Amino acid sequence: MDTGRNDAGGTRSLLVCGVLAGPIYLAVGIAQGLLRDGFDFGRHPLSVLANGPGGWVQTANFVVTGLLVVAAAVGFQRALRATSRATGIFLGALGVSMLVGAVCRADPMDGFPVGTPLGPPTSMSTLGLLHFVAGGLGFVALGVSCLIASRAMSRRGERALARLSLLSGVIVLLGFFGGMVIPNSSPVLGIWIAVVVGWVWLALMSRRLSVTTA
């Protein structure tokens, strides 16, 4: 039995999870946003879809995507073991944060679900607070994973991917936190930018590592 070939095949299978995670999360989330009354892409993050009738779909979306990210993190660990294990560790932290976010549902906000008062919530439940903390830590982990991957890709001679990883890390961190601290900015817009850029980076990195895994 060719153990090395089997190991490489297993690593590539894990990395496929990283290619699929973002498209699945966004497709399921956007479909819900289009179908559910009261949801506004300009005012609501996808996490609030876990509230109200049909909220289980978004909860399941968090669970499935979180597990895919954890699997991809293991693939990163295997593919980058000679260069950087930290990339996979922080990526795995993102996956765990999504699983925590599935258990700790975000609070209703700004008119969603229908009947919720408009505007930001005046108070936050314990589960809502834990969801927010898990989300914040998840975005930090994703941004740091991108930045560490930049150095790892540079060492491997993958300069285009190194630059992409560096830019993605900066955008993810600024996108999530910038909207919260910059006056008159939209926190939800920043979150959307961070989410989309992060998923694109993960898909491209996973695809490239799967191709170069021997």
Q: What is the mean pLDDT of the chain?
A: 91
Task: Identify the sign of the CA torsion 108, 68, 90, 169.
Answer: negative
Residue 160's closest CA among 150, 169, 170? 150
Give the pLDDT confidence score for residue 152 in this predicted structure: 92
Domain ranges of the chain: 3-212
User: What is the pLDDT at residue 153?
Assistant: 92
pLDDT of 212 above 70: yes
Give the mean model confidence (pLDDT) for residues 87-114: 95
> Could you report the per-residue pLDDT of 123-132, keeping only the tens digit for each?
899 999 999 9
Q: Which residue has the tokens 């834990």?
A: 130
Global pTM reads 0.91
Do the Cβ atoms of 138 and 97 come closer than 8 Å? yes
Mean pLDDT of 17-41: 96
Alpha-carbon gap, residue 118 to 26, rounded angstroms: 25
* Per-residue pLDDT at 2: 46
Report which DSSP code applies to 1: -
Residue 1: pLDDT band (50, 70, 90) is: very low
Classify residue 125 by its DSSP letter: -
Give the pLDDT score at 173. 95
- Say what the pLDDT of residue 121 is: 79
25 three-class SS: helix
| Dist. CA 69–CA 55, nearest whole Å | 21
Mean pLDDT of 71-98: 91
Provide Rg for the chain, Cα atoms. Answer: 18
More confident of the two residues 200 and 177: 200
Q: What is the mean predicted confidence (pLDDT) over 161-170?
A: 96
Is 82 within 8 Å of 11 (Cβ atoms)? Answer: no
